[in-house]
Structure 1
Amino acid sequence: MGGVGSDANPPGTADTALESVHVLGDETRRRMYAVVRRAGRPLTRDEAAAGVGVSRKLAAFHLDKLVDAGLLRAHYEHTDGPHRVGRRPKLYEPSGVTVQFSIPERRHELLADLLMEAVLTETRSENARQAAVRVAAERGRALGAAEREATRPGRLGAERGLTICERMLERHGFEPIRETTTRVRLHNCPFQPLTAKAPDLVCAMNHAFLAGYLDGLQATALRATLAPRPGECCVRISPADA
């Protein structure tokens, strides 16, 4: 499902999350990241080095690795007036990125985001389930429309539309598998194990989201259908005339 909070890795960043996990595998780097996060203000290299008990040169190496991985951001200290002598110190602070990594991929925060929006926008004519399905469809439609605007693919046949759709499904952790040139099943439900608590609700939201996405993308040659299989997502993408 589309959309994430600003403090989470955006969709499609499983490789980025894996890189972040790899970077934090180094104990010194992990301690330095913790020092910067807990400081409550940007730190210089000297301060970070002192906090971990390493040399300034080694601290600079680890801090730059954390910046490259997107876990920290760096900037130079702002100075007022033209009279300061010497080079401005480089400051490091948390980037605001939350690292989440799992195999198979899980996107519980996306489900929570949609359910929260459903609660906040539920109308008097809806019950909770109807609001959740509506929100999922709206989010999918907006995502599809945005992708169409960005890529301007023209008229979409089933195979071309499926190729574009597969990229979105991959980004969102559904693990699409081509059964034929125009049919895809979804090997993973990114909302497990929560799905087991309300399978009918989550399946209805998944179906609404994917149908909305195809609608926004204007992929009229394709349709989302419910096709439950044990251990997989309950939705399949098929030709509209199948």
Structure 2
Amino acid sequence: MPQVVEQQIADLTSVLGDPTRRAIYIAARESSEPLTVGKVAELFGIHRNLARHHLEKLTEEGYLQVGSQPPSVTRRAGRPPKHYESTSRHIEITYPTLRYDLLVELLTKIVSRVSPDHLSEVAEEVGREYGLELADEIGTASDAGYREAVQGVMGAMSGMGFAMNPDWDGGRLLTYHCPFGEAALSYPEVVCSLDRGIISGLFEAIERCSETVLHPHRVRHEDCVTEIPVEITARS
């Protein structure tokens, strides 16, 4: 575990590790009015000195602050009790950023150096298998018509981070955002074959024949074009 995360956890547990103190903090956050030592002692059935200790500790660490006496409280002679209320401090633990984009880039570099003669074929087959698994997870209708089939594929791809528009007249899907980013530009023979396989697997799962042809973009911001038959027929 990274040292910064360990320190964040240690800081939290040193203040909020005690269950009673943690409960007092939660009560202060949820209360519509500030809490006093007497009120906390009454709520949790503890001695006033212990209640004061927990409140002061939470105040020292910035989780509570001493506020003004609410208007609903009648002022009495003598020293007024402190009223504790929650601050705007947030409790969070920040982990280092996950770099899936870097992982994809490095993996595609590795794959590109292995069996180059069959690279595209293997990538498409892996994509097809994933497309079948994805369709099984989300559920698909085997009697879908052409538009329903295309929209179903678009929905599944959207869930993966793709953004597509249909070209109904041209029998095409236009992908204007690919979640694989730079990896698709640098290694289209791997990434785009994978995409084509996923789409083919999705169509296959709804028992529709689709000889999809994917034309990858060559420059940034250019659409990828997936050609699909205008009339998709059910498999025999």
TM-score in terms of structure 2 length: 0.50
TM-score in terms of structure 1 length: 0.49
Larger RCO: 1 or 2 (CA < 8 Å, sep 6+):
1
